[in-house]
Amino acid sequence: MESPPRYLLFFFFFFFAAVASAASEFQTLTLRRLPIPSPLPFPQPQFDTQETLESTAALTVELHHLDSLSPNKTPSDLFNLRLHRDALRVDSLTSLTAARSRTPLRRAGFSSSVISGLAQGSGEYFTRLGVGTPSRYIYMVLDTGSDVVWLQCSPCRKCYSQSDPIFNPFKSKSFAGIPCSSPLCRRLDSSGCNTRRHTCLYQVSYGDGSFTTGDFATETLTFRGNKIAKVALGCGHDNEGLFVGAAGLLGLGRGRFSFPSQTGLRFNHKFSYCLVDRSASSKPSSMVFGDAAISRLARFTPLILNPKLETFYYVELIGISVGGVRVRGISASLFKLDSAGNGGVIIDSGTSVTRLTRPAYTALRDAFRAGASHLKRGPEFSLFDTCYDLSGQSAVKVPTVVLHFRGADMALPATNYLIPVDDSGSFCFAFAGTMSGLSIIGNIQQQGFRVVYDLAGSRIGFAPRGCT
């Protein structure tokens, strides 16, 4: 058979190259409304197994967004509250990395200073788990930006309103105070001693002025019938501030008292989560602990250690592409973590909107505006300075956006960066700038990816379409 003429080969080559290039430049955004919070689906367990979870077992839990705790508010109200929480959290995260020390918060029984933490002491996602023996089921926030596990306990000197009854440690057979002389107590950043009972006291203060203080103890936690014994946690009798609805916090950070650190041997130092787009799916988000957390589709980037601050998950962001082209002016040097612990990029489940250091954000925004010049501009909204009036349309073409990490690219779906901000067809570019050197990859950009924390391999992975 005679070979096709050379000019036809060149034609097909350039045709398919042009198609591939066009595919990398734009993608379709199907327009959706702000999500409506759905009722919480958690049933009470029908059994209370006495078996503890084996070290090789995997554990899966469902996650739900904090908005589900406020079903009576409108979607617009919830979105504005989310942005308000987000601003407080980001301010606190950046102040923590900048200061790393605070004026001691003096309360009876404590002898050392208080560590700072994240705004509000809570992230955006929570699950239901059992505490104590027999198990009392409560809502707990899960947060990669915090370490200490704690919950509200009676008797309460002061407790905020929560959805479940306050946990009573005196009704639990597995609750055990930690002696003041224990290494666990001495390793707390802020500890004290109850001189009457000779048991350890803790306190944690957050950047917005919220705090929790009480007894430091060990207790059994139950996830879907699987029991994990002797988890060190704070039993808070005085909890004040901007906490929302849930009974406490399950810290997922890198610090020594976080849940992943305490249970590392059980779960081989691995966990992952996938956060669904709540405007597009009724399926709950999920979190997996153990070897099953590792997705075969994940592309990994190394974790970077900040010697000044052990809590956060730092990664190396080396560039960003818009419309298939690397954005000029965005390089790894803008996101460098220096020897003093300043700068860097963290992955955070509790921040919603990704914040980039100002020069990087400005370059990204300008590149996106140029690529989306065919869309009708709309007024600014809250922290967003790049918005569009897409009323009357069902779908639009938008420039692609890819985050380039060291060894791993994260090609974002259009719904992860152009989001509805009202019910009138206004959509905004879901990034923001910060004057701080710290950049934060938020949960809107993480939606739909299975984010894999392989702490044994000191790496984080991103698997697209990981919620299925």
Quick one: residue 62, left, alpha or beta (phi over 0 = left, psi -120 to 50 = alpha)? beta
Q: Maximum distance among all alpha carbons in the chain? A: 97
The catalytic residue positions are 143, 348
Distances (CA, A) of 111 to 114, 134, 150, 192: 10, 34, 20, 6
Listed residue (318, 357, 385, 178) closest to 262, CA to CA: 178
H helices of 168-224, where?
183-186
Answer whether 79's CB lies under 8 Å from 110's CB: no
Listed residue (93, 79, 99, 5) closest to 36, CA to CA: 79
Q: What is the C-alpha separation between 255 and 399, in angstroms, rounded?
A: 38
Answer whether 248's CB lies under 8 Å from 140's CB: yes
Q: Tokens for 86? A: 């987000």
- Sorted by sequence, the CB contacts under 8 Å of residue 55 that are 6+ apart come out as 265, 266, 267, 268
DSSP helix/strand/coil, 235: strand
Secondary element (H or E) of residue 80? helix 75-99
Give the DSSP letter string of 50-67.
-PBPPTT--EEEEEEEGG
